[in-house]
C-alpha cells in the first residue's frame, strides 16, 4: 500500500469512492492530483494519493444511480456509454462509427459521445471539411438518456422535457445538435442533414441513415449478461424494470468485460471513462474536472508526465493559480501503468467573454519528449446566468412526442406504445 497524506480522510475505501465524485470539485483550488490503481479506481479526497492493490478486490466502481440526483453532465457515464457504442458496432459495424474532434470539429461539452451511423458520420465530415462545427450532442447511449430523464423528472439541470430512455432521437445514431446551427443549416442540408423538428433549432437528423433506437438497450443487456452470468436479464432491446434496475447498478465507467469484438476507443493512448465537472461555466468562473482515464498504451505514464496544451498554443482555459503556464497544466505527479486507471483533476478558469462561447482544449500527456495520450476538455462559457443547466438541455423536443398519462422511466416499452395513438401530445422546446 502506498499512501500519501490525507489528514481528513477517515472513510473506508468504498465511502471514499462514493463521496469523492461529489466532493472533489469543491475542494482545494490549488491541488491537482492523480490517483492510480488497477483495475478499479480508488479516488480519494483532494490532497491524498493512495493506491492499494487489495482495494481492487474490495471496492467497486461508482454506479450509474449515484448520479441521478447530482451533477448536470452525462460525461460521468462516458465509460459505460462507450462500451455500449462499441457493442452496437460489434453487432453491426456500420450502425455506429466513431469520429474525433479536431480541426473544424469541436465539442461544446465533455458529454459528447462521438459516434454516428456510418452514412451520417461521412456526411458530417463533408460539412466540417469546409465549415466549423460545434457539437452539443451526437449519439446518446442509454445511461446518458437515463440520467437526463431522471434529472428532468426532478426539475434539475434546466431540463424541461426529456424523452424516456430508449426513445430519444439521439439514441438513433443519426442525430446531431449543433451550437452554431444558425449558420450551418444549408451546409448541413446539402449533405442530407434535415433541420425540420419544429421548435428545436439545434437539432439535425440524417434521415438516410438507419434509426438504431433500441440497439443501445440490447447492447447494454448483452454487456450486463456477459458480466453477470448468474444474474441475467432478457436480451430483448426493450427498456423494462429489469433493465432499469441493472442500469442503475451498472458501473458508470464501464464493466470489467467490455465489447468482445474490440473497441473503437481513441487511438491516443488515453481512454476517458468519466469527466466530472460542469458543462457550462460563467466568464471568469473557476471549475475542476475530475477525469477518470485508462492508460491504453503500452508504456507507463511516469509521475513526471506533463499535461501540455496540444499545438503549444495558449489555452483559453488557463488557470493562473494551478497551471504551470498558459501552455502547460503541469505534471501528473504519479504514475499510471499500462492498462491501469487513474483520476486526474484539472482546474480551469473561464475566459472573460461577453457572448456564449464554446471553449475546447486538447491536452497532451508528454514524457521524455514522447506523446503518450490526449485528454480533451470541452466547456461552454456562458455570460447568460444559465451555467447551472445541462449542456444537453437545449434539445428536449427529442423524440417529437411526449407520452402523458403515466409513462415513466420504468415503463414497459410496448405498454407505452399502446397508448401512443390516444395520448400524443406535441410539446414545444423551452425557447
The residues that touch Zn ion, with contacts defined as CB under 5 A, are: 177, 203, 395
User: Of the two residues 194 and 264, which places its CB atom closer to Zn ion in the complex?
Assistant: 194
User: Of the two residues 205 and 319, which places its CB atom closer to Zn ion in the complex?
Assistant: 205
Q: Would you say 112 and 85 are in contact if contact means Cβ atoms under 8 Å apart?
A: no
> CB of 148: closest distance to Zn ion in angstroms?
11
Q: In 3D, which of 214, 14, 191 has the Cα closest to residue 96?
A: 214
> CB of 394: closest distance to Zn ion in angstroms?
8
> CB of 3: closest distance to Zn ion in angstroms?
46
> CB of 177: closest distance to Zn ion in angstroms?
4
The three three-digit cell numbers of residue 331, written as one number: 505534471
Q: In 3D, which of 143, 89, 83 has the Cα closest to residue 111?
A: 143
What values do phi and psi take at 125, rounded to 5?
-65, -30
Q: In 3D, which of 64, 63, 78, 70 has the Cα closest to residue 22?
A: 70
> CB of 309: closest distance to Zn ion in angstroms?
31
> CB of 414: closest distance to Zn ion in angstroms?
25
User: Of the two residues 203 and 222, which places its CB atom closer to Zn ion in the complex?
Assistant: 203
Residues paired with 375 in a beta bridge: 363
Distances (CA, A) of 206 to 99, 177, 186, 398, 401: 16, 12, 14, 15, 19
User: Of the two residues 276 and 395, which places its CB atom closer to Zn ion in the complex?
Assistant: 395
Burial class (CB in 10 A: 0-12, 13-18, 19+), 395: buried
> CB of 136: closest distance to Zn ion in angstroms?
8
Separation of alpha carbons 377 and 345, rounded Å: 11
Secondary structure E strands in 144-212: 175-178, 193-194, 203-206
User: Of the two residues 59 and 136, which places its CB atom closer to Zn ion in the complex?
Assistant: 136
User: Of the two residues 215 and 397, which places its CB atom closer to Zn ion in the complex?
Assistant: 397
User: Of the two residues 161 and 235, which places its CB atom closer to Zn ion in the complex?
Assistant: 161
The three three-digit cell numbers of residue 373, written as one number: 495520450
Amino acid at each position: 500500500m502506498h499512501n500519501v497524506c490525507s489528514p481528513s480522510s477517515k472513510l473506508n475505501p468504498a465511502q471514499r469512492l462514493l463521496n469523492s465524485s461529489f466532493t472533489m470539485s469543491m475542494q482545494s483550488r490549488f491541488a491537482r492530483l492523480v490517483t492510480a490503481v488497477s483495475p478499479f479506481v480508488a479516488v480519494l479526497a483532494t490532497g491524498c494519493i493512495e493506491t492499494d492493490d487489495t482495494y481492487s478486490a474490495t471496492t467497486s466502481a461508482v454506479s450509474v444511480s449515484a448520479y441521478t440526483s447530482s451533477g448536470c453532465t452525462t460525461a460521468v457515464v462516458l465509460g459505460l456509454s462507450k462500451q455500449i457504442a462499441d457493442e452496437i458496432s460489434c453487432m453491426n459495424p456500420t450502425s455506429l462509427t466513431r469520429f474525433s474532434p479536431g480541426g473544424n470539429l469541436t465539442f461544446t461539452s465533455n458529454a459528447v459521445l462521438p459516434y454516428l451511423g456510418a452514412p451520417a458520420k461521412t456526411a458530417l465530415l463533408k460539412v466540417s471539411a469546409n465549415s466549423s462545427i460545434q457539437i452539443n450532442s451526437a449519439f446518446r447511449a442509454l445511461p446518458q438518456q437515463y440520467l437526463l430523464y431522471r434529472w428532468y423528472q426532478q426539475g434539475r439541470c434546466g431540463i424541461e422535457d426529456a424523452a424516456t430512455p430508449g426513445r430519444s432521437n439521439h439514441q438513433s445514431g443519426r442525430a446531431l445538435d449543433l451550437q452554431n446551427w444558425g449558420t450551418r443549416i444549408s451546409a448541413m442540408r446539402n449533405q442530407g442533414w434535415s433541420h425540420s423538428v419544429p421548435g428545436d433549432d439545434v437539432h439535425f437528423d440524417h434521415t438516410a441513415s438507419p434509426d438504431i433506437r433500441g440497439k443501445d438497450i440490447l447492447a447494454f443487456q448483452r454487456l450486463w449478461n456477459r458480466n453477470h452470468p448468474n444474474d441475467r436479464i432478457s436480451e430483448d432491446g426493450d427498456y423494462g424494470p429489469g433493465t432499469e434496475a441493472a442500469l442503475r447498478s451498472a458501473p458508470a465507467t464501464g464493466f470489467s468485460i467490455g465489447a468482445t469484438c474490440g473497441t473503437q476507443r481513441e487511438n491516443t493512448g488515453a481512454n476517458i471513462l468519466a469527466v466530472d465537472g460542469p458543462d457550462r461555466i460563467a466568464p471568469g468562473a473557476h471549475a475542476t474536472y475530475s477525469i477518470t482515464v485508462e492508460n491504453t498504451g503500452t508504456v507507463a505514464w511516469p509521475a513526471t508526465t506533463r499535461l501540455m496544451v496540444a499545438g503549444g498554443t495558449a489555452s483559453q482555459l488557463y488557470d493562473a493559480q494551478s497551471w504551470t503556464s498558459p501552455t502547460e497544466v503541469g505534471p501528473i505527479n504519479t504514475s499510471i501503468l499500462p492498462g491501469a486507471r487513474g483520476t486526474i483533476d484539472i482546474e480551469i478558469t473561464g475566459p472573460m467573454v461577453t457572448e456564449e462561447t464554446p471553449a475546447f482544449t486538447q491536452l497532451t500527456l508528454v514524457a521524455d519528449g514522447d506523446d503518450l495520450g490526449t485528454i480533451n476538455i470541452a466547456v461552454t462559457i456562458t455570460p447568460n446566468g444559465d451555467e447551472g443547466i445541462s449542456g444537453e438541455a437545449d434539445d428536449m423536443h427529442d423524440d417529437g412526442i411526449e407520452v402523458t398519462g403515466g409513462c415513466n422511466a420504468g415503463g414497459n416499452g410496448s405498454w407505452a406504445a399502446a397508448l401512443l395513438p390516444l395520448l400524443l401530445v406535441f410539446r414545444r422546446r423551452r425557447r
